[in-house]
Amino acid sequence: MGLCFLDCNLRYVSLNRRLADLNGASVAAHIGNKVQEMIPDLFPLVQPFLLRALQGEAIAGEEVSMPSSRPGEPDLTILVSYQPAFDEAQEVIGVSVAIVDITERKLAEDALHESEDDIRHMAELSPQMPWIRDADGDFMYVSSRWSQLVGMRKEQAVNLGWLEALHPEDLGPTLKTLQQAMHFGKSIDVEYRVKTAQGEWRWLRSRGSPRYGPAGEIVRWYGGWEDIEERKELEEALRKSRART
C-alpha cells in the first residue's frame, strides 16, 4: 500500500517507498514538491478528490488508472482513499492518502470476462441451444436462438414463462418428467413440441444435468435444446410405411 501525507498546498510532507515507486521517483524527490509536479498526467484525475478532502470530506476506494512508471508495462489500476486531517480546532491541516495497486486483480477480471464472452459465443454457435436452470428448475438463462425460434423474449422465458410455448398435449408429461428429475437429481431428457414464431409446431429435445455444491446439494442445472423435427418426421414416415405393409 502506498501512503503519503499532503499539506493544504498539496505538497508532500511524508510518504513511503511504495508510493514513491508507483510515482516513479525517489522519496526524497517528493518531499516539499506538489502532487501536480510529481504526477502531472494523473493530477487532473485526482485533483477533484483532493479538493473535496481539503473541504473535510473523507473519500474511500476511488478507482483510478495511471501509466506505469516502467516502460513497456501495462497501465496501473489503483484504489485511492483520501482522509482529511484535522487539528484541535477541527480545521483541515492536510490530507492522508492511501493507494492500493489492484492491477493484477483487474487484469484477471478482464481475462475472466473475455473468457466468459468466448464461451457464450461458442455456446450460441453450437448445434445445441443452451439453457441454465436454478436449483428449483426455473430457467435463469435461455439461448437467444431458442428465443428467436419461439418468438419469446428471454425475460419472458425465465422461471415458468417458457411453458407458454409448449404444445398442450406435451405440457403434462413434460412437467412430470422435470419434477421427477428435480426430485431425484436425475439427468433431464424430455421431448416436446413448441410453437414457433411462425405459428408452427416443432419438436425439440431438452437434455441437462445437475451441478452439485460442496455439501452435495444441487446448485444449477446445465443443458440445452436440440431440434429433432427432422428425426420426428422420419420416424412418422417410417411408422406409416410399416402400417401399410
Q: Are residues 99 and 168 in the same domain?
A: no
Q: Are residues 81 and 181 in the same domain?
A: no
CATH number at residue 127: 3.30.450.20
Last residue of a domain, one of 78, 106, 134: 106
Domain total for the chain?
Answer: 2
Is residue 238 situated within a structural domain? Answer: yes
Give pLDDT tens digits for 206-237. Answer: 999 999 988 889 999 999 999 999 988 888 88
> In sequence order, which residues have a C-beta less than 8 Å from that of residue 29 and are 6 or more positions away?
20, 38
Is residue 113 situated within a structural domain? Answer: no
Task: Determine the 3-state secondary structure of 78 from DSSP.
Answer: strand
pLDDT score, position 60: 84
Is residue 66 situated within a structural domain? Answer: yes
H or E element in which residue 170 lies: helix 168-184
Q: Are residues 99 and 123 in the same domain?
A: no
Give pLDDT tens digits for 84-96. Answer: 999 888 999 999 9
Q: Are residues 134 and 87 in the same domain?
A: no
Give the residue numbers spanning the domain of 81. 2-106
> Closest by alpha carbon to 93, among 180, 7, 181, 208?
7
Residue type, 111: A
DSSP notation for 127-153: SSEEEEEETTS-EEEE-HHHHHHHT--
Is residue 114 situated within a structural domain? Answer: no
In this predicted structure, the answer to whether residue 142 has a pLDDT above a threshold of 60 is yes
